[in-house]
Every structure is written in C-alpha cells, then in structure tokens.
C-alpha cells in the first residue's frame, strides 16, 4: 500500500475530526469524513480555545480566516466569587491572547477548510456500523458499504469502536453526578478583545465569554442536586448561580449534556483510532476541550506518518496522548473541585494572585495545563 492508496474514514466533523482529516490529507491519506449533523449547529461547549491551542488552531485556520468568521481575541481572565473579583492577563504565543468563536462558526469554518484540502465530506450522513478485519474496515454509511484502511473516531464517544478485548469502556465515560448546560445571551456589539469570566458557585461553576454577533456564551457545569432543585427552569438556576443574569437577554434555548471525563482510551482494534473526547477528556473548566481535539488530530497524523506499521503508530499516538493528559486531567479536575466549593475559593483567594516562585497560583496552574502563564493585574 503506497501513501497515495491509504484511505481513512473519520466519523465526526467537529474540531477533532476536521483536524484529523486535514492533517491526514496533508500527509498523503485519502480521507472521507462522515458527519451526522447539518452545520451550522449550536452545541454544548464553552467556545473558548485555550491559549495552549493557539498554534493548533492557526495551523488550520489563519488569523485572517478566523477574523472573517467573527472570532475574537481573549486577553483577560476574570475570576469571581460573591463580590470578589480577580483579573489576570492571558498571553498566548504571540501575546495576542486566546481565541473565542462560536461552535457554529468554528465547525463551519473547519469543514470549509477540510473540503479545500481535498477531503471528502459526507454531511449529514450517518454511519450505522463498522466491521473490523485484519486487512481493512467496512463501514455502512447511509446504507452503503464502504471499505477503508483505518477508522478515526471523532464523534465524542467512540460509538462505533470495536468491543474492547480487555473489557474496558467502548464509549467515553461521563463524569458522575454532573450536567453541562449552555445558552447564548445578547450582549450587544462589543468590538475588541474579550474577557473570559469564571464564577464559583455552590455545586457549580459558570463561564461566560463574548462571541460574534453581539452574543455571549454562557456555559456551566452543575451537580445533579443543583439541577434537580430547579428542574427544567435553567434560567432560575443560572440566576441563583449568577445573580447578574437577566433571563430576558437569553438568545437561544438551553442545551444540556453529560460531561466527558476519561483517561486515554485506545482504539480497540489495530485499525481503530480515537481522537478528541472519544480518545480522552479533561474537565472543561480549563478550556482545554477544543484545544485537545485539535491537537489529537495532528498527533494522530504525525504518528501514522512516522511509522510504516499501524502497531508502531498506535504506540506512538498512545504515548503522546497520555503525556498530553498527564497534568491536564488532574489540574483541571482540581480547579473544578475548588470552583464548585466557594468556601475553598475564599480560602485560596489571598494567594490566587500572590507571587509564587516568580509567578502566581493561577500562573502555575496555567503552566500545568500547557498555557502561557497568566499574570495578575
């Protein structure tokens, strides 16, 4: 099999799937992406691309392309608890800040870029089954059987992976006892750089950041006890968590989903690979979800390009993925545990911005999650 003959099926056209598709195509693979949903779409997501992923994003969409999609720079992080606020500067590799863009804009922009790279995109198109054999995989796409050399699971869960020979999870586990929710609110036009707001609340944490079109994303993670207290009345729940919220400003329906959280999950067959949340997920408090998705697509393509055999590529990819998660998972889990407990936030408040070994507690946490150090203001 020559490089030009290698074929890959990518299931899912979100950031992980598009990144995998673009980077595989750039290394000589013939790629087909199957996406079940029509774009643009609204999806439960904080819509903040971590400063650790600035380079990953700009390797796929140039700053000019991002600007044309309505993306904005995020230069500041504002942490609040009750009446207290602490502001930090968020430098990126070029000191311009991080990026923020709605998933409707990001997903559509990435799919357009995928097509321009020669990748075939089937959308909306449903994969109903994948059969694995030693020499290929067979996928049923919209009732039509097709064969590929490998399959890349970028659907967030790995629903079509082979059964694990070790009895491990076939789909990505969800964090027990919590729910993620998201909506858009109207802010009015506010040109220039944006601020990421993070608020601590009993049993929950809330993030808000301005996106394009005069809207802001409000995303939260709440324990199920908090959700049960308000039932389907998410507006009342958010007002309890964030008293400044005005329900009349809401511009979209509330969406809900589980919160993925797992160590690296390797594909269960030699020809099966998992990227993004399907491969391993961190707590969303760090804004690492999109960045991890973009990185994993590139890491997979590079691992396959570096090894003539699939087994070697699998070992390389697993090593890189586990190393990527090593400090991010515990650091993000710790931050979430603290933010969900305002008493702990109050206890840590005096040292959050204080100098520690030449930086601050927040700067040290940023370093552990791969971000450039945040500086207290």
Give the mean model confidence (pLDDT) for residues 115-142.
96
**pLDDT confidence of residue 154:** 97
**pLDDT confidence of residue 1:** 47
**pLDDT confidence of residue 362:** 74
Q: How confident is the model at residue 349 (pLDDT cuts 50, 70, 90)?
A: confident
Statement: residue 304 has pLDDT above 60 = yes
pLDDT > 90: percent of the chain? 67
Q: CA 92 → CA 190, 331, 357, 358, 370, distances in Å?
A: 21, 19, 21, 19, 11
Statement: residue 377 has pLDDT above 60 = no
Give the mean model confidence (pLDDT) for residues 333-345.
92
Statement: residue 374 has pLDDT above 60 = no
Global pTM reads 0.92
**pLDDT confidence of residue 94:** 59
**pLDDT confidence of residue 194:** 80
Average pLDDT, whole number, for the chain? 89
Give the mean model confidence (pLDDT) for residues 5-10.
95
Q: How confident is the model at residue 260 (pLDDT cuts 50, 70, 90)?
A: confident
């Amino acid at each position: 099999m020559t490089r030009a003959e290698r074929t890959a099926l990518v299931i899912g056209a979100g950031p992980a799937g598009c990144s995998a598709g673009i980077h595989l195509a750039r290394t000589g693979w013939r790629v087909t992406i199957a996406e079940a949903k029509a774009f643009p779409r609204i999806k439960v997501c904080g819509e903040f691309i971590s400063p650790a992923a600035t380079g990953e994003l700009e390797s796929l969409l140039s700053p000019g392309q991002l600007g044309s999609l309505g993306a904005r720079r995020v230069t500041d992080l504002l942490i609040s608890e009750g009446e207290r606020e602490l502001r930090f500067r968020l430098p990126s590799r070029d000191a311009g800040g991080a990026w923020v863009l709605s998933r409707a804009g990001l997903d559509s922009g990435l799919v357009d870029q995928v097509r321009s790279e020669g990748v075939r995109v089937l959308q909306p198109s449903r994969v109903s089954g994948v059969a694995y054999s030693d020499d290929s995989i067979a996928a049923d796409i919209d009732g039509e059987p097709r064969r590929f050399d490998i399959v890349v699971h970028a659907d967030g869960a790995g629903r079509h992976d082979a059964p694990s020979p070790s009895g491990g999870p076939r789909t990505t586990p969800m964090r027990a006892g919590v729910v993620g929710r998201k909506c858009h609110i109207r802010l009015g036009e506010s040109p220039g750089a944006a601020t990421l707001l993070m608020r601590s609340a009993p049993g929950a944490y809330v993030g808000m950041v301005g996106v394009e079109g005069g809207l802001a994303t409000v995303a939260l993670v709440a324990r199920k006890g908090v959700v049960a207290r308000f039932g389907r009345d998410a507006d009342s729940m958010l007002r309890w968590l964030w008293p400044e919220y005005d329900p009349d400003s809401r511009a979209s329906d509330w969406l809900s989903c589980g919160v993925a959280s797992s160590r690296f999950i390797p594909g269960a067959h030699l020809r099966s690979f998992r990227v993004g949340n399907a491969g391993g997920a961190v707590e969303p408090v760090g804004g690492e979800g999109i960045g991890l998705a973009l990185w994993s697509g590139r890491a997979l393509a590079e691992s396959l390009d570096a090894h003539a055999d699939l087994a070697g590529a699998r070992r390389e990819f697993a090593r890189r993925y586990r190393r990527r998660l090593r400090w991010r998972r515990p650091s993000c889990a710790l931050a979430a545990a603290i933010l969900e407990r305002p008493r702990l936030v109050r206890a840590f408040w005096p040292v959050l911005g204080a100098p520690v070994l030449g930086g601050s507690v927040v700067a040290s946490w940023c370093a552990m999650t791969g971000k450039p150090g945040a500086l207290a203001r």
